[in-house]
């Protein structure tokens, strides 16, 4: 094998063996299922991140609204009206936390039930 333009037949056989081993239907199927699982895992993580952002935003809105309501309650002595406002703010914050938990639980269930390809 002095001609540098020729490839050693053992190398060619090795490459062919690797190709045959890695291109079987089972390997391709498992690889595809694994990629699909990773995609679903990433999507569920993004959904949880979005729910986290929403929860954070509602907490910011709730805290700001509560501050305004307390200031108005002090300024006007109208505890009845602003007490109702505070109750609504509390309900909004509770609902946003419930929504966050629901999104997290659903994302977890989706990911757990998705086949990994293994």
Structure confidence by residue, pLDDT tens digits, 24-82: 667 666 777 788 888 999 999 999 999 999 999 999 999 999 999 999 999 999 999 99
Q: pLDDT grade, residue 15 (50/70/90)?
A: confident
Domain that holds residue 100: 46-118
Rounded CA separation 90/96 (Å): 10
Q: What is the DSSP string of 40-84?
A: HHHHHHHHHHHHHHHHHHHHHHHHHHHHHHHHHHHHH--HHHHHH
Q: Does any domain span residue 15? A: no
Number of domains composing the chain = 1
Both tokens of residue 41?
A: 């895992």
Structure confidence by residue, pLDDT tens digits, 73-117: 999 999 999 999 999 999 999 999 999 999 999 999 998 888 776
Find out whether 5 and 91 touch, Cβ atoms under 8 Å.
no
Q: Does any domain span residue 111? A: yes
pTM: 0.69
Q: Does any domain span residue 76? A: yes
Rounded CA separation 35/33 (Å): 5
């Amino acid at each position: 094998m002095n001609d540098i333009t020729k490839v050693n037949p053992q190398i060619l056989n090795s490459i062919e063996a690797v190709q045959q081993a890695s291109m079987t239907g089972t390997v391709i199927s498992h690889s595809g299922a694994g990629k699909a699982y990773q995609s679903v895992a990433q999507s569920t993580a993004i959904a949880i991140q979005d729910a986290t952002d929403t929860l954070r935003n509602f907490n910011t809105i709730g805290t700001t609204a509560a501050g305004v309501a307390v200031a108005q309650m002090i300024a006007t002595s109208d505890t009845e009206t602003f007490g109702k406002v505070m109750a609504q703010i509390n309900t909004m914050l509770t609902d946003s936390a419930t929504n966050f938990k629901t999104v997290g639980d659903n994302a977890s269930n989706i990911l757990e039930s998705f086949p990994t390809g293994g």
